[in-house]
Amino acid sequence: MRLTVFWERMTERFGPVYVDSFARDHVMSELGGRTVQEALAQGISAKEVWSAVCRSLDAQS
């Protein structure tokens, strides 16, 4: 998955106002205690990060 597609999906899910805050501040166990931005910066693929975000949201439902 390309980063542009990843960020489009994130923006669709969280909205243009909240997406940056979620990516920067929300620590997820699915990403080994990292935020979205940390995981991407450390080389975890956008596809893996997106899958983790989806699992995290499903668990919260």
Amino acid 32 reads G
Model confidence, pTM? 0.90
pLDDT per residue as tens digits for the range 13-30: 999 999 999 999 999 999
Q: Domain locations in the chain?
A: 3-60
Residue 32 is predicted with a pLDDT of: 95
Cβ atoms of 10 and 19 within 8 Å: the answer is yes
Residue 61 is predicted with a pLDDT of: 56
pLDDT per residue as tens digits for the range 28-60: 999 999 999 999 999 999 999 999 999 988 876
Residue 59 is predicted with a pLDDT of: 73
Q: What is the mean pLDDT of residues 6-19?
A: 96
Report which of 28, 10, 29, 30 is spatially closest to residue 20, judged by C-alpha positions.
Answer: 10
